[in-house]
Structure 1
Amino acid sequence: MTHLAVILAALAALPAPARAAGLEAVSFDAARAFEAIAIPAGALSGEWKTDRAFKDGGPLAAAAVATAHTTGLPVVATIKGGMNHSPVDLTLNRREWTIKGGINLSPTDLKIDHDRKTITGGANHSPVDLSFQWSTEKIVIEGGANRSPVSLTVDWTAGTITGHASHSPVRVEFDLQKGTAKGYAGLAPVELALDNASGRLTGGMNHSPVDVTLVNCDLSDFLQYFFLFLK
């Protein structure tokens, strides 16, 4: 039985008033869940496309897909190692929606507010004041960070990050299934490869080697907060 059929069967067994309330709650929770989750590693895979078609069936289907992708998603994720000629020690908390730690020899303290659609705080020796628009197709981030205007579009369908940040143009092509990203940003080439088994991300960007380990997150998390890893 599909996720949608299970939910419909459960709702059908309720009295009419409870059934109506259940539909409203599921629709609201589904929208919040989709906005809050990161795109999974298989975002462009056949499995994800099937889920997206299922989602397009309506709010109940959206709730089922959201539940499937949030179930078992760890609350805490980390990125640790070295890049930009400095240590990296970052923690993403998916319950409090914060990113804390350090990178680029600077403390990091960011708050992601999904209601206001903002990312605020400090990182890279700079205030961070960003807004974002989220969909299953793309994320658009605009505002200021790294003492520079920021305008970045992460397009999951096209497999690209385009725009500008850190006083330089950005264009990176990525493949989430292969775990690769290649292009330019920060006036330097970008070439990264993720070993999915170990979570080790290696390569180079910002004229520096990259060697970090991703735990409970993947390349999609790294890419949607790409501004943070620039200098």
Structure 2
Amino acid sequence: MTRSLLLVAAFVSLAAPARAAGLESLSLTSAGAFEAAAGVQGVRTTLAASALRVSGRPYFGSLTGSQGGAALDLRFDRRAWSVVGIAKSGSVDLRVDHAATRITGFAGTAPVQIAFQWHPQRMAMRGTAMGSPLELIVDFDSAALRGHAAGAPVQVAYDKATGSISGSAKHLPVRLSYDRISGRLHGTIGGDRVEATLMNLEIGDFLQYFFLFLS
């Protein structure tokens, strides 16, 4: 093993205990149950796993259009691991730190502080966004989202056969249609009409940042 590989191995092994604090450091009573439900208990994002997530995918993606008459223009950078732009809540500036397993920044005037645990099949998130607590699980295999955000239950699922995204959020219906070829996403989230286009993004990316559309 070369000296550089030994250094990388040492870094990963030293970083693991810090990441192991992960969601537990938030001192939430439901931490164990939440991780078990997510199916990510004991699984931590490593630098190698982060690299695999980018492999074969464009570095840049976007979601543009409108929600409830307000502009949507979100830019995803998989090299800087950032999401910046405009959503209904206002300006968005988020950074993803895989080593610390944190998503931090601002959405509108409110801070975003989210701890996450990532697994190839699912991702668990817990923290605050837009001034409200958030606990969400994204299932990438089934393209589904469940949990709580903005003080209310969230249950959304994507049907690959029909292209429909349906469920509820904040006690209001979610009814969207997604065309995987054109990237067009349209329908309603709550009472808001949505007309948008996803470029170089997958439904899993949209569900991961669904909380930005719940303001």
Segments ≥4 residues shifted beyond 6 Å: 20-26
The counterpart of 2:47, out of the listed 27, 32, 53, is 32
Name structure 1 gaps, 5 residues minimum: 1-16, 38-65
Q: Distance in 2 between matches of 1:165 and 1:208?
A: 17
Counterpart for residue 187 of structure 2? 203
Aligned: 1:181 with 2:165: yes
Shift of 1:78: 0.6
The counterpart of 1:115, out of the listed 67, 82, 99, is 99
Name structure 2 gaps, 5 residues minimum: 13-44
Q: Do 1:179 and 1:219's aligned partners in 2 also have CA atoms closer than 8 Å? A: no
Q: Distance in 2 between matches of 1:179 and 1:223?
A: 14
Counterpart for residue 4 of structure 1? none
Counterpart for residue 219 of structure 1? 203
Q: Do 2:61 and 2:199's aligned partners in 1 also have CA atoms closer than 8 Å? A: yes
The counterpart of 1:152, out of the listed 127, 136, 139, is 136
* SS in structure 1 of the partner of residue 58 of structure 2: coil
1:171-217, Cα deviation, whole Å (9 max, x unpaired): 11223565432100123111112111111111110311111011111
1:48-74, Cα deviation, whole Å (9 max, x unpaired): xxxxxxxxxxxxxxxxxx3xx644411
Counterpart for residue 25 of structure 2? none
Q: Distance in 2 between matches of 1:202 and 1:23?
A: 50
* SS in structure 2 of the partner of residue 220 of structure 1: helix
The counterpart of 1:104, out of the listed 88, 98, 103, is 88
Spell out the pairing of 1:1-231 with structure 2 (5 A cutoff). 17=1, 31-34=46-49, 36=50, 66=52, 70-104=54-88, 106-176=90-160, 178-231=162-215
- Sequence identity percentage: 35
Q: Distance in 2 between matches of 1:168 and 1:209?
A: 20
* SS in structure 1 of the partner of residue 156 of structure 2: strand
Aligned residues: 181
Q: Do 1:86 and 1:105's aligned partners in 2 also have CA atoms closer than 8 Å? A: no
The 10-residue stretch of structure 1 (191-200 or 106-115) with the greater mean CA deviation from structure 2: 191-200
Question: Over aligned residues, Cα RMSD in angstroms?
Answer: 2.5
Question: Normalising by structure 2, what TM-score?
Answer: 0.75
Counterpart for residue 16 of structure 2? none
Return the structure number with greater helix share: 1
Structure label with greater radius of gyration: 1
* SS in structure 2 of the partner of residue 197 of structure 1: coil
Q: Do 2:92 and 2:106's aligned partners in 1 also have CA atoms closer than 8 Å? A: yes
Q: Distance in 2 between matches of 1:72 and 1:213?
A: 21
Q: Do 2:138 and 2:204's aligned partners in 1 also have CA atoms closer than 8 Å? A: no
Counterpart for residue 6 of structure 1? none
Counterpart for residue 19 of structure 2? none
Question: Normalising by structure 1, what TM-score?
Answer: 0.70
1:112-134, Cα deviation, whole Å (9 max, x unpaired): 10010101110033110110011
Q: Distance in 1 between matches of 2:172 and 2:4?
A: 54
1:128-182, Cα deviation, whole Å (9 max, x unpaired): 0110011122111100001100001112345431111112111112235654321
Shift of 1:98: 0.6
